[in-house]
Amino acid sequence: MALEFISPEGLRLDGRRPAEIRQLRANLGVIDKADGSATFEMGNTKVIAAVYGPHEVQNRSQQLLDQALVKCEYSMANFSTGDRRRKQKGDRRSVEISLVIRQSMEAAIMTHLLPRTQIDIFVHVLQADGGTRSACINAASLALADAGIPMRDIVASCASGYLNNTPLLDLNYLEDSGGGPDVTIALLPKLDKITLLQMDAKLPLEMFEKVFELGNKGCVAIANYMRNVLLENTKDLAFARGVVKV
């Protein structure tokens, strides 16, 4: 018998209802040396992101004359999963996720304002419980905002899936390994533009539309939370410093 991911009472294994996201937590400015940094938690998934730059391009040959060079490195801590395994740096999965994060961030950063510069984004998974990809994008987005890098909009990401004939929002590891499709969406919510859409299984179109719709709603909810965190952070900084009139 297939695992029962949603009880007939409508509760998921961890007690959420199908369209609920896990508890979100975010902190800004967690790394002193970095220009911008953030931790982002979605339930038990916890990632840390650091942004360095914009700064001088390290490899002169990669310098772009009309826009900023965005680099991204994704890695997973050895202790991030239950079994401690030394993970190879630069394996296929990391390279792929690095690329995914970089591309969805590049779509938001106003790179044309920062020619001949480089922006480094480092994301590190501290604890993995499904949805690491989304959490990384959210953390990177916050870190970029913290670094004061101009962006068209905040990038918010959320995964959704389809198990037991029900669309589910924000899958945790257990649900992720349930064999159903896993749709990761990254959204520019105010502009209503998708910067990332990934799915690793087949899903009929009408199902997909439902799952996609749900994922979209999740992104909007997460974006609202992120905006709140950013605003509170701005206020904290401004109130501590006081008003400066030149």
Which 202-241 positions form the footprint of other proteins (CB under 8 A)?
A: 202-204, 206-207, 227, 230-231, 233-241
Q: Which is nearer to other proteins, 38 or 100 (CB)?
A: 38
What is the C-alpha to C-alpha distance for residues 143 and 149, in angstroms, rounded to an integer? 9
C-alpha to C-alpha distances, 31 to 21, 35, 202, 211, nearest whole angstrom: 27, 8, 40, 36
Considering only residues 36, 161, 215, 218, which one is a binding residue for other proteins as defined by CB under 8 A?
36
Shortest distance, position 61 Cβ to other proteins, whole Å: 16
Q: Which is nearer to other proteins, 90 or 234 (CB)?
A: 234
Q: Which is nearer to other proteins, 92 or 200 (CB)?
A: 200
Q: Which is nearer to other proteins, 92 or 165 (CB)?
A: 165
Q: Which is nearer to other proteins, 83 or 92 (CB)?
A: 83
Using CB under 8 A as the binding rule, whether residue 30 contacts other proteins is answered as yes
Shortest distance, position 200 Cβ to other proteins, whole Å: 13
Shortest distance, position 151 Cβ to other proteins, whole Å: 5
Site string for other proteins, 116-155 (x = CB under 8 A): xx---------x-x---------------xxxxxxxxxx-
Site residues (CB under 8 A) for other proteins, limited to 83-112: 83, 110
Q: Which is nearer to other proteins, 99 or 191 (CB)?
A: 191
**Phi, psi angles (nearest 5°) of residue 194:** -90, 130
Site residues (CB under 8 A) for other proteins, limited to 168-207: 172, 174, 179-180, 188-191, 201-204, 206-207
